[in-house]
Amino acid sequence: MDFGWSEQQDALRGKVVEFLRDHLPDGWQDIAALSPGSQEVTDFSREFCPKLAEAGLLASHWPPEFGGRDAPAWDHFIIGEVMWEAGEPRGPQYYNVNWIGPTILHYGNEEQKAQHLCRMMQGDVIWCQGFSEPSGGSDLAAMRTRAERDGDRYRINGQKIWTSYARLAEFCFLLARTGAGKRDISVFLIPMDRPGITVRPIESVVGDGDLHEVFFDDVEALESERLGPEGKGWDVVRYSLNFERVGIPRYALALRTLHAAVADLEASGSFTETARLAAALAMSSCEAARMLVYEAVDQRSKSAPGTGIASMARYAVVLAERQVADFVLDWTPHLFVSETNPMVATHHKRAIAAGLAAGAAEIQLNLVARDMLGLGT
Amino acid sequence: MDFDFSEDQQMLMTAFEGLLAPWTQAPQGLHGYTVYSAELQAEIAAAGFMEIAAQPGFSLLDAALLVEAGAACPVSVELASSMMIAPLLANAEGPLAVASALGQPVRYLPVSQSVCLFHDGDVWQAPVASAQIEVLDSVAAYPLGRLARVPNAASKLSSDLAGTIRRRALIGIAAEAAGLMRGAIDCTVAYVRERQQFGQPLGHFQAIQHRLAESAQLARASRWLAFRAADSERESDAATACLYAQESMRKVITDCHQFTGAMGLTLEWPLHLWTYRMKVLQGEFGGKGAQARRLAQSAWPETATEAAALPEMAM
C-alpha cells in the first residue's frame, strides 16, 4: 500500500503542466468557459491534440502500433487530472482517449482498431455516444432504436437524446437493439455523415454543444461497423461505463474552483469562521472522492475496475461536485453570475451534469448496494 | 499509488486477524454497554503488534491498518494511542489514554497505565496511577474517565512533540472511526438481509439500499483518507481524514440504527458496540469544527494578525 507518486509520475505531471504552459493561449480560460462541445473548444482541440500526440501525451496508454507506448493506466490518468483542472483543452476528444478508444481496443477487430485508434491518435476526430433515448436514459435496456438485419448490413431506425458533441462529431458510438430480448443490444461505430442521420441541438444551461437529439431514419450500417458480437453490446457498454464513471477527475476542477472562491472571499476580508468550516468540508469531500477514484484507477491498472468501486467513486464525485458548487452559490454568488472568473461558471455547468451522465447517481447506488453490499431483490 | 496490501502487510494482517478471530463475534447475552477486553489487549501487546510502527520495514501506515481492523471488532481494545503515540514517548506503558482537555471524557482512561493530557497549550505525560481520575458510568461503548487536574507527577513534553502527538491522535481517530463504520455497516447489512417486513427482506427496499450504499461510500473513503494520512503524516491529510470521518460517522450511526429498528436499541444486539464508540469519537479533539479549522489553516493559512484575532483553536 502506497499513497505517494513515483519520481516518474511526478516528472510526468510536471511535463504535462509545462506542456500546458507552453501551448495554452493567453485567452484560454475564456475559451474553456464555453462547453467542451462548443465550436470554439472543438476547434481548439483539433489544434491542441495533435501537439499532445506529438509529445506522447495523448494516449500513451495505448500499444505502440496505435501510437501509444503501453504506458501504465496511471500515466493517462495523471495527464487527465492536469487537463481537467486546466479546463480540458482536449475538448470532446477526452471521450476518445478515456473510454471509446479503450473499448475499441478491447472489443474491436484489427480493421476497427486500425481505422479508429489511428484517427484518434491524429488528434482531430470527434466522437459522440448514442446511449440515452427519450424512452430510456439510465434504463438503457429500455432503448427502442433498432438495427434490423438486411443481408450483410443493418438498417437503423430510432432516436437518441442528450447526446453530447453530436453536432460536430464525425463518428457515433451507437447502441441499438438487434434482437427481441431485453438485453439483445449491439454497438455500432457509425459515421455521422451517413444519410438518414439528423442532429438537432437542444438549448440548455450546461453550455452550447453539450445536448442534442439525434434521429436515425433508415440509416445503413455495415456488419464491419458492429463492435463485438451481435447481441453482446451489453458487455461492451458495461466495460465502457466503468471507464467513463471514473474517467474524468472532476474533483480536480472542483478543488480549483473552491480555491478560487476562497481567494475571492479572502480578498474582500469575508472568509469568516463559518465560511472556513464550509470550505474545509467541501475540500474533504473532494479528497474523499479523489481517494475512491484512485482506488478504481488502481484496480483498472491491475485488471478491470469492478462495477462497484467505479460506481462508488462516481457517487462520491457527484457529492463533492455539488458541495463545491453550493459553496460558490452560498458564499460567492457574484462569481456564479459574473465574468470575474469564467472557470467558476464553467465548473458549475460541468458539475450539475455529474449526477446524470454515465447513469444517474441513484443507479450508482443500486450498483454499490448490489455489487459491494450484496443487497438486491 | 497502490491500494493493495504489500506481501509484508498481507502477512501482518493475516497474523493480526488470526489473533482477533475469537473476538469477532459479540458475546452472547450481553448486558453491559462496553465490552473492553484486558485479555485481548494483553495478547496484542504480548504478540508485539503495539510496536509495529517502529519495526524495520513497517511504518505508521501499518499501525493504521491494525487500528482500523481492530475497531471493526465488537470488542474494544486500546490500539491507536499505543501504536501511534506511545512510540514517541519515554516510559509510556500501555494502554495509553489521550485526553484532549481537562474535564472531557477520555477513552480508556480507567483501564490505562499512562495518560497524555493537552492542557492550556501544553501537553503532559503521567502514569495513570498518579492521577486522580473519575470513572464515568455511561452508555458509551468505551471505558471512559475524566481528569479534573494535571497530575502532580506529570511531566511536560516539548511543543514540537505536542504537535506530532496531536496529529497522530487525529490519524488514530480517523483510522478507528473507519473500522467502527465498517463494523456497524457489516452488522446492519447482515440484519437487513435477514429481517423480513412486508413479505421481503428489508435489504430489498431501494430506500434502504441507497442509504446503506451512501454509508458504505463514506466508510470506505474515510478508510483511505486515514491510511493516506498515516502514510504521509502531513498536517493537512490528518485534518482531512479526521474531519471527513467525524462528519461521516453522523450519517452512518443514524442509518445503521434506523434500519435495525428497535432491535438496535437493545444491549443484546451488538450494533451499539460500534455506534456508541462512534458517538464518542465524533466530538474528539474538538470534533469536526476544530478539524475543519485545522484543515482550513493548512489549506488557506491566515496572516498572523488575522489568526491572533480569532479565538484559540480547540485542542
pTM over 0.90: yes
List B residues 77-106 in contact with A (Cβ-Cβ < 8 A).
none
Which one of B102, B124, B156 terminates a domain?
Answer: B156
**B78 and B186 part of one domain:** no
pLDDT at residue B241 is higher than 60: yes
**B97 and B178 part of one domain:** no
Domain at B209, CATH number: 1.20.140.10
**B232 and B267 part of one domain:** yes
Residue B190 inside a domain? The answer is: yes
Q: Give the whole-angstrom CA distance, residue B28 versus residue A167.
A: 66
Structure-derived torsion over alpha carbons of residues A31, A33, A35, A39, reported in degrees to the nearest 10? -20
Residue type, A251: Y
Q: Give the whole-angstrom CA distance, residue A344 versus residue A354.
A: 16
Q: How many residues does chain A have?
A: 377
Per-residue pLDDT tens digits for B51-103: 999 999 999 999 999 999 999 999 999 999 999 999 999 989 999 999 999 99
| The three three-digit cell numbers of residue A93, written as one number | 476528444
Q: For residue A150, which phi and psi values (nearest 5 degrees)? A: -140, 85
Q: Tell me, what's the pLDDT at B2?
A: 94
Question: How do the pLDDT tens digits run along chain A, 377 residues long?
Answer: 999 999 999 999 999 999 999 999 998 988 888 888 889 999 999 999 999 999 999 999 899 998 899 999 899 999 999 999 898 999 999 999 988 999 999 999 999 999 999 999 999 999 999 999 998 887 877 899 999 999 989 999 999 999 999 999 999 999 999 998 888 999 999 999 999 999 999 998 887 778 999 999 999 999 999 999 999 998 998 888 777 776 678 898 899 999 999 999 999 999 999 999 999 999 999 999 999 999 999 988 887 656 699 999 999 999 999 999 999 999 999 999 877 788 888 889 888 888 888 788 999 999 999 999 999 86
| The three three-digit cell numbers of residue A103, written as one number | 473499448
**B124 and B190 part of one domain:** no
| The three three-digit cell numbers of residue A70, written as one number | 503501453
Q: Would you call A277 an interface residue with chain B, using a CB distance cutoff of 8 Å?
A: yes
3-state SS track over B121-149: CEEEEEEHHHCCEEEECCCCCCCEEEECC
CB contact (8 A) between residue B224 and residue A312: no
Specify whether the CB–CB gap between A312 and A368 falls below 8 A. Answer: yes
Q: Give the whole-angstrom CA distance, residue B254 versus residue B260.
A: 10
DSSP helix/strand/coil, B75 = coil
Mutation target vs B (from A283, A294, A295, A309; most B CBs, 10 A cutoff) = A283
Taking CA–CA distances from B182, the nearest residue in chain A reads A373
Q: How many residues does chain B have?
A: 315
Residue B313 inside a domain? The answer is: no
Q: How far is B122 from chain A, CA to nearest CA, in Å?
A: 24
Q: Structural domain tally of chain B? A: 2
Q: Give the whole-angstrom CA distance, residue A165 versus residue A353.
A: 14
**B148 and B227 part of one domain:** no
Question: Is the link from the previous residue into B95 a cis peptide, with omega within 30 of 0?
Answer: yes
Q: Tell me, what's the pLDDT at B261?
A: 96
Structure-derived torsion over alpha carbons of residues B145, B149, B150, B153, reported in degrees to the nearest 10? -90
**B172 and B136 part of one domain:** no
Residue B315 inside a domain? The answer is: no
Q: Give the whole-angstrom CA distance, residue A332 versus residue A344.
A: 10
Q: Give the whole-angstrom CA distance, residue A243 versus residue A293.
A: 11
DSSP helix/strand/coil, A319 = helix
**B32 and B136 part of one domain:** yes
Residue B2 inside a domain? The answer is: no
Q: Tell me, what's the pLDDT at A305?
A: 56
Taking CA–CA distances from A272, the nearest residue in chain B reads B310
**B91 and B116 part of one domain:** yes
**B212 and B240 part of one domain:** yes
Domains in chain A, start-ordered, CATH in brackets? 7-125 (1.10.540.10), 129-232 (2.40.110.10), 245-371 (1.20.140.10)
Q: Tell me, what's the pLDDT at B309?
A: 44
Q: Tell me, what's the pLDDT at B312?
A: 36
The bridge status of strand A153-161 relative to strand A146-150 is antiparallel
Residue B314 inside a domain? The answer is: no
Residue B20 inside a domain? The answer is: yes
Compare CB distances from A284 to B203, B206, B295 and report the shortest one's residue. B295
pLDDT at residue B185 is higher than 80: yes
Q: Show the domain range for B146.
A: 7-156
Compare CB distances from A365 to B1, B65, B209 and report the shortest one's residue. B209
Q: Tell me, what's the pLDDT at B303?
A: 59
Q: Give the whole-angstrom CA distance, residue A300 versus residue A244.
A: 12
Interhelix angle A361-371/B206-232, nearest 10 degrees: 80
Q: How far is B225 from chain A, CA to nearest CA, in Å?
A: 7
CB contact (8 A) between residue B216 and residue A373: yes
Taking CA–CA distances from B210, the nearest residue in chain A reads A365
> In this structure, how many other beta carbons lie within 10 angstroms of the beta carbon of residue B88?
15
Residue type, A13: R
CB contact (8 A) between residue A3 and residue B210: no
Q: Would you call A339 an interface residue with chain B, using a CB distance cutoff of 8 Å?
A: no
Distance of CA B53 to the CA centre of its chain: 17
Is residue A199 within a helix (H) or strand (E), and if so which, with residue range?
Answer: strand A197-201
Q: Looking only at Cα atoms, what is the longest distance across chain A? A: 72
- Helix and strand tally (H, E) in chain B? 10, 9
| The three three-digit cell numbers of residue B298, written as one number | 493548512
Residues of A within 8 A of B193 (CB-CB) are 374-375
> For residue A139, what is the DSSP state?
-
| The three three-digit cell numbers of residue B293, written as one number | 479549522
Q: How many CB pairs under 8 A join A and B?
A: 146
**B199 and B93 part of one domain:** no
Residue B1 inside a domain? The answer is: no
Q: Would you call B214 an interface residue with chain A, using a CB distance cutoff of 8 Å?
A: yes
Residue B70 inside a domain? The answer is: yes
Which one of B131, B156, B181 terminates a domain?
Answer: B156
**B123 and B200 part of one domain:** no
Residues of chain B above pLDDT 90, percent: 91
Residues of B within 8 A of A368 (CB-CB) are 213, 216-217
Which one of B156, B181, B205 terminates a domain?
Answer: B156
**B165 and B239 part of one domain:** yes
